[in-house]
Copies of this chain bind each other. A is one copy, B any other.
Amino acid sequence: MKMLHFDKSNQCVFYLIMTLQEIKDYLYNVVQPIELVGNPQTAIQGISEIETAQQGELAFVANSKYERFLESTNASAVIVSNKIDKAKLPGSKAYLLAGDPYIAFVFILEKLSPMRKFIQEGISESAFIDPTAEVDQDVSIGAGAYIGQNCQVKRGAKIGPNVSLLDGVVVGEDSMIYPNVTVYDECRIGNRVIVHAGATIGADGFGFAPQPDGSYHKIPQVGIVVLEDDVELGANLCIDRATIGETRVKRGTKIDNLVQVGHNCSIGSNTVIASQVGVSGSVTIGNQCMVGGQAGFVGHIEMADKMVIGAQAGITKSFNQEGLVIRGAPAQPIRDQMKQEVMLRKLGDMMERIKQLELQLQQMNDQKLTK
């Protein structure tokens, strides 16, 4: 009934045969409202983007700027917003009208795409598993993986090829550790956690005590990293272990590729951190925050819950107001920051007005002298 397939133009599509009515019935159970316009028997054998969709495929328009493709697309059916003017819909196709076309699309995509089976089932003969490690049933471990002393790998976990788990690491149930990840000793990974390839969890915090001769003395980093359930961590990111105690990422939080989280940080629950953000040591970020890409935090500060932090922001102090939106460097509440931006754009105007004032005053003075 369904099959992942790459066609000759390298487009990745799903081939299946479902009628639009069947798709509508499925969606009706998970997202409402949903309405079908056109032939319910339209055969759908794949999903694609509207610009590149072929006959027999279902596309979607989540953003009104893509409505211009409704006429030209080869898709046999399109998911559109139920706020669209039905009179505008080209009659040659069928439509699903949804309150949120993107969410409807996500649910179809999810129905059609099974969890990625990224490694073969079972334990590879070329994995190294220390005899003292506890590996539950239904665990998959890829070729070249290294499982150190006293590690625990729980039921359903998948450990990719060439992953290295140092001594005492715990990986919870159904978690997925992609290839070439390193987890340092004693770190704890919860259930249903996803760690993408190349990530480093639990490396030493960056702590050195300056010595009188100008050299640095390494401060032992004896804490750990704790990743709570349902966390997802991006490729090639780094989360440092605590100096003492723990660095913690709380339940449901998602962190993108190449992010740095320093020692002893606490990242709240259901927070989203975009790529290349840098979080210095001992920073606390609240729950349900959103942090834009490349933002940077100085150490030892706290962010309230539900804050929104702009891309490339430089956060230099604590903010304790829930839901506050900040941006800029140094970061400030968005209202202040936008005022400053407006002022910056008026600099030329200000200079011109100063010149005019000087000229007028000069003229007035000249007139007085003339009198």
A311 to B254, CA, bound (A): 25
**Contact yes or no, A276 B276, CB < 8 A:** yes
Return A258 CB to nearest CB of chain B, in Å. Answer: 5
Is A203 interfacial (CB 8 A cutoff)?
Answer: yes
Contact of A179 among B117, B166, B345 (CB under 8 A): B166
A348 to B199, CA, bound (A): 45
Q: How many copies does the complex hold?
A: 3
Return A204 CB to nearest CB of chain B, in Å. Answer: 7
**Contact yes or no, A257 B275, CB < 8 A:** no
**Contact yes or no, A314 B312, CB < 8 A:** yes
Give the one of A219, A257, A288 with max B CB within 10 A: A257
Chain B positions within 8 Å of A223 at CB level: 12
Is A366 interfacial (CB 8 A cutoff)?
Answer: no
A215 to B235, CA, bound (A): 21
User: Which residues A336-371 have CB closer than 8 A to chain B?
Assistant: 339-340, 343-348, 350-351, 353-354, 357-358, 360-361, 364-365
Return A213 CB to nearest CB of chain B, in Å. Answer: 9
Identify 15 residue pairs between A and B in the complex whose beta-carbon atoms are under 8 Å apart, listed by A's number. Answer: A11-B245, A12-B245, A49-B244, A109-B244, A162-B162, A178-B203, A206-B275, A214-B287, A216-B252, A236-B258, A258-B258, A262-B275, A276-B296, A280-B293, A353-B358
Is A191 interfacial (CB 8 A cutoff)?
Answer: no
Chain B positions within 8 Å of A274 at CB level: 206, 280
Chain B positions within 8 Å of A103 at CB level: 209
Contact of A206 among B144, B162, B197, B257 (CB under 8 A): B257
Given contacts A200-B257, A206-B254, A270-B214, contact A144 B162 (CB under 8 A): yes
Chain B positions within 8 Å of A152 at CB level: none
Contact flags (1/0) for A102-145 with B, using CB distance below 8 Å? 11001001101100111110001010101000000000001110
Contact of A106 among B106, B219, B226, B339 (CB under 8 A): B219
Contact of A143 among B128, B218, B234 (CB under 8 A): B128
Given contacts A47-B244, A254-B216, contact A203 B197 (CB under 8 A): yes
Question: Which of A21-29, A37-45, A70-78, A181-189 forms part of the interface with chain B?
Answer: A181-189
Contact flags (1/0) for A234-263 with B, using CB distance below 8 Å? 111110101111100000101011101010
**Contact yes or no, A160 B149, CB < 8 A:** no
